[in-house]
Amino acid sequence: MRLRSLQPVLLCTCCRTEIYFCGSAEDEKAVITLISQMGGTDPGELLKYVMLFRGDSALRHLFSVACGIDSMVIGEDEILGQTKAAYAFSHELGVTGYEINTAFKAAVTCAKKIKTQTAISSTSVSTATLAANRAASCGEKVNVLLVGATGTIGSSTMKNLLSHKNVSLTATLRSHSPLPELIPAGNIKTVPYSQRYDHADHADCVISATSGPHFTVTARQLSEAIKTQKKRLFIDLAVPPDIDPGIKCLPDTELLTIDDFEELAKRNNEIRLDSAEQAKAIIAQELDSLKKDTAFHDFLPKLENVKRLLSAKSPEEILYKLKSRCTGEEFEYALKILEKISIKDPEE
């Protein structure tokens, strides 16, 4: 099988492997066989785990994937970049043709339209992202002390904090927990965990996200450490809690817990679900435009013959020819189309 002739695009992410191509049912079987051979498994066994989409369903699936409504986290942005990269790779190899080029360009355009016209990507459902955004909103320049930067939630929160240009970040480290390699050391100040209270006074926001069983911040020690009176936000992302609830009695102190962010994430997810319905309507419109564009492209080689026919025949002769050549259903549809285009558009 010449795979190149199928205009293949291979899309691989952390939770999906998909191949888009143009071909027949026999080509479909050949692609399944090829994948099974590459994976060292039987084609029949592979089919148990394969979803097949054809024609309009395949296009609708591509559009849904590109805009993120088919993702585990609805509206996530990374999949659009992965889709663009997958298409660009095949296009640069010269294996794509008109059909795949048009489909992927339309899917990417549709995804951008959805992200602009809906709230599907503007509302976060990640606790770490929500916490970082809230911390960054404390002022024009925000000093953040992060306790527990090397855990799962802590490291994710740290990456999100570093994406905000107005945030200066100090992270505590235990001696046996080095800073994750993916974080450039120059972007963050690190201090020993034992010195966390020494840096609490300078901080506008303190975030704690450890997996320990005891408080990392207590009201008594905090009150002794704080010398400067200013508004401070404390964010506790740990279960069980890291931060002593008693700190709320200290002046100008606000405490948010993981329950607050989970509730916000839940509300944001509901907004995303509503946006997903709007996205489906936009996809339907864009798919309709794509089908018309591809149909017109396929019809172009026949346009000269049609022009000659229209110039040589009267409207009545053309109608009678349609009547003789079409089925009853086709002829009825053709008449409806002629009636539709004969009604003058008030905007013309």
Q: Is the dihedral of CA 37, 39, 41, 45 positive or negative?
A: negative
In sequence order, what DSSP letters do the residues of 213-246 get, joined into one string?
SS-SB-HHHHHHH--S---EEEEE--SS-SB-GG
pTM score > 0.75 for this model? no
**Amino acid symbol at 266:** K
Please check whether residue 202 is in contact with residue 143, taking contact to mean a CB–CB distance below 8 angstroms: yes
Distances (CA, A) of 122 to 73, 130, 262: 13, 11, 17
Short-list 201, 101, 191, CA closest to 148: 191
Active site residue 12: no
Q: Which residue has the tokens 């963050």?
A: 188
One digit per residue, the tens of pLDDT, for the chain of length 348 reads 566 688 999 999 877 889 999 988 889 988 998 888 888 888 888 888 889 999 999 999 999 999 988 887 788 788 999 999 999 999 999 999 999 999 999 999 999 999 999 988 777 777 888 899 999 999 999 999 999 888 888 888 998 999 899 999 999 987 655 655 545 555 688 899 999 999 999 999 999 999 889 999 999 999 999 999 999 999 999 999 999 999 999 999 999 999 998 888 888 888 888 899 999 999 999 999 999 999 999 999 999 998 988 898 898 998 998 999 999 999 999 999 888 887 765 555
Spatial neighbors of 220 by CB under 8 A, at least 6 apart, are none
Query: Measuring CA to CA, which residue among 60, 54, 58, 108 is closest to residue 85?
Result: 108
Residue 346's pLDDT is 54
Separation of alpha carbons 161 and 168, rounded Å:
9
DSSP-assigned letter for residue 25: H
Q: Is the dihedral of CA 38, 88, 288, 302 positive or negative?
A: negative
Strands 167-173 and 232-236: unpaired
Note whether 3-117 and 127-258 share their fold: no
Superfamily of domain 3-117: Glutamyl-tRNA reductase, N-terminal domain (3.30.460.30)
Q: How far is CA 288 from the centre of its chain?
A: 23
The residue with tokens 């100090």 is 170
Q: Which residue has the tokens 């929500």?
A: 130
Phi/psi for 76 (5° steps) reads -65, 145
pLDDT of residue 327: 94
Rg (CA), the chain: 29
Cis amide linkage into residue 245, ω under 30° from 0 = no
Domains of the chain by residue range: 3-117, 127-258
- The candidate with the shortest Cα–Cα distance to 21, out of 106, 91, 100, is 100
For 127-258, CATH number? 3.40.50.720
Omega into 240 within 30° of 0, i.e. cis?
yes
Choosing from 12, 14, 138, 326, the catalytic residue is 14
Q: Are 168 and 144 in contact (CB under 8 A)?
A: yes
Cβ contact 101:293 at 8 Å: no
Do residues 91 and 1 lie in contact, with contact meaning Cβ atoms separated by under 8 Å? Answer: no
- Element at 48 (helix H, strand E): none
